[in-house]
Amino acid sequence: MRPSRTVKATLLALLGLSSALPAYSDAPAVSYGPRPAYLIDLLPDGDLKTRLQSCEAQTPVKSDFSIGHRGAALMFPEHTAQSATAAARMGAGILECDVTFTKDHELVCRHAQNDLHRTTDILSTDLARTCVTPFSPARGSVKASAECRTSDVTLAEFLTLTPKMDSADATATTVADYQNGLPGFRTSLYAANTDLMTHRQSIELFRELGAKFTPELKAPAVTMPHDGFTRQDYAQKLVDEYKAAGVAAEDVYPQSFDLNDVLYWIENEPEFGKQAVYLDGRFSGPDPLDPANPETYDLDMQELKAMGVNYIAPPLWMLLSLENGQIVPSVYARQAQAAGLNIITWTLERSGPLDTGGGWYFQTVAEAVNNDGAYLQVLHVLAQDVGVVGVFSDWPATVTYYANCMDLP
């Protein structure tokens, strides 16, 4: 087992000593890199292209409109210190730590409680013995599989793992091949020498980077209570770690797909709860919400607002529709606007090249999507017509550039 560089740092931290995670005395300088200009070049001639081209010489500054989705996960291993730092260097004013818990109920940054087989090297270490589903190779029409959970390893064990880009090859017959399978539009170029983070470490790092915080309480993959740890304990511990670090509630946007978590924060931690974000996942399940048909909404926007919900965050396709071939706000978006809800959306630049319609994230506007310039066209409608207050992105430089050019906060 090859320990990551965070092991020593975390053990020192647990002893009250210093951490070896990247540290900054001041927020890093913001740089766009070449991608925003590349996307602008792909836009059709018109007012949007002209406006964005006029900003190429602007001085980049960070923006709260730009949210680092798991950091800068397009090219950095998600939820690593380096991914978060890259997002901050692209001007993301808010950074995300998806929060789950270990066997000893310590909070760590992972997209899911059961994704270690995809996002770390666990299958090639001694900790493979902890996996609830050991690696099984592909055989004929049967796909390769595995499942490894943070809740089955202790914090100390978790921190011995090495991060990798999120991927798994379902056709693999060996562990080494299974741990590859990276989509062609991503890269492993920045995967080496990266560090996993605890939730506490993310708080300290994000603060040093000059960013605000949006932790997401992830749905447990285990039955709760877990060894006496209840869902309410879990939700409370997330907030308690910000309070213990002296972070102002106004700088924290706790998120959950479970409305009950949001309501818990509203009732029990109202200063944090007033900025709690309801991640609207009602597009899935046996009776999915159709954003074009309010009759499918089990709770309408006014009812959510009456419960104390101030922020709602659906995937971007739910906020968009087509009229005469043009991208416009959906019925769902207009109803959220009318209810006075703040709207955040996810996730830009997670789809790779858009020349084939953009896939899942662009499903309601696929007919209008034919190249990567559509990232900016969609962003423009979301900002100007839907009125979103923030956009999660796997490559925040694009959103930061747009926000700076359009004088958004």
User: Taking 70 as the threshold, does the pLDDT of residue 12 lie above it?
Assistant: no
Per-residue pLDDT, 389: 98
User: Taking 80 as the threshold, does the pLDDT of residue 15 lie above it?
Assistant: no
Q: Hey, which residues does 346 pair with through a beta bridge?
A: 315
Closest of 7, 3, 4, 9 to residue 22, by C-alpha: 9
Q: Evaluate the CA torsion angle 139, 142, 143, 146 in order and state its sign.
A: negative
pLDDT band at 23 (very low <50, low <70, confident <90, very high): low
| DSSP secondary structure of 330-397 | -HHHHHHHHTT-EEEEEEET-S---TT--GGGGTTSGGG--STTHHHHHHHHIIIII--SEEEESSTH
pLDDT band at 138 (very low <50, low <70, confident <90, very high): very high
**pLDDT tens figures, 235-283:** 999 999 999 999 999 999 999 999 999 999 999 999 999 999 999 999 9
More confident position, 104 or 357: 104
pLDDT band at 356 (very low <50, low <70, confident <90, very high): confident
Look at the block and give the residue holding tokens 């770690």: 241
Per-residue pLDDT, 137: 98
User: Taking 60 as the threshold, does the pLDDT of residue 14 lie above it?
Assistant: no
pLDDT band at 21 (very low <50, low <70, confident <90, very high): low
Contacts of 389 (CB under 8 A, 6+ apart): 65, 311, 342, 343, 344, 409
User: Taking 90 as the threshold, does the pLDDT of residue 4 lie above it?
Assistant: no
pLDDT band at 18 (very low <50, low <70, confident <90, very high): very low
User: Taking 70 as the threshold, does the pLDDT of residue 25 lie above it?
Assistant: no
Per-residue pLDDT, 27: 81
List of domains in the chain = 30-114+191-405 (3.20.20.190)
**pLDDT tens figures, 87-102:** 999 999 999 999 999 9
User: Taking 70 as the threshold, does the pLDDT of residue 132 lie above it?
Assistant: yes
Q: Evaluate the CA torsion angle 60, 61, 65, 69 in order and state its sign.
A: positive
**pLDDT tens figures, 369-383:** 999 999 999 999 999
pTM: 0.94
- DSSP-derived secondary structure letter, 252: B
User: Taking 60 as the threshold, does the pLDDT of residue 40 lie above it?
Assistant: yes
Contacts of 46 (CB under 8 A, 6+ apart): none
**pLDDT tens figures, 142-192:** 999 999 999 999 999 999 999 999 999 999 999 999 999 999 999 999 999
More confident position, 65 or 10: 65
Per-residue pLDDT, 1: 39
Mean predicted lDDT score pLDDT of the chain: 94
**pLDDT tens figures, 213-240:** 999 999 999 999 999 999 999 999 999 9
Closest of 199, 255, 258, 175 to residue 79, by C-alpha: 199
